[in-house]
A = this chain, B = another copy of it.
Amino acid sequence: MKQYKKILACYDSSVNSSRAIKHAVSLARTYDAKLYIIYVVEKTHPVNFLDRKEYLKLVKDFGKKILKRKVQSIKNNEQITAEPILKQGNVADEIIKFAKNERCDLIVVGSKGFGVMLRFFLGSVSNKLATYGKTPVLIIK
């Protein structure tokens, strides 16, 4: 029996999340697993400095762009097809929900990322993933 059939890697373009992607790609190749790469547009973050709709559109466009780039670079450099996933909501909740719905065997996430301010508001996403949900979590430092 394959230990990992579906791997969900969290990506936000930070150095830590790029390292997480590297591990996820190695595991997906080694276990011949399906690889998803997820970016979540944080909706619960309080926004004062911009119109809320405008802000969400900006972040959504950013997410689409970095996912597209990362999936392309994995295809070019690693010959692996990853599926990009864009969600909106609370980051940890959306990751846990997707992993559950798609029956992922493993979540791979960087220990930092999402920016200092955002982490201040959100708490550590990796800690939440480690504590809640049923899916094994690999935390990359």
Contact = CB atoms under 8 A, between A and B. Distances in A.
A76 interface: no
Interface stretch (A40-48, A65-73, A114-122, A127-135): A127-135
B138 A138 contact: yes
A139 B127 CA distance: 11
Contacts of A30: 3, 30-31
Interface residues of A, number: 22
A17 interface: no
Interface in A12-38: 22-23, 26-27, 30-31
B130 A140 contact: no
A136 B130 contact: no
Given A30-B30, A31-B30, A23 B136 contact: yes
Nearest to A109: B130
Contacts of A31: 30
Interface of A: 3, 22-23, 26-27, 30-31, 111, 124, 126-127, 130-131, 133-141
20 contacts: A3-B22, A3-B27, A30-B30, A111-B130, A111-B131, A124-B131, A126-B130, A127-B127, A127-B130, A127-B131, A130-B130, A130-B139, A134-B141, A135-B141, A136-B138, A136-B139, A136-B141, A137-B138, A137-B139, A138-B139
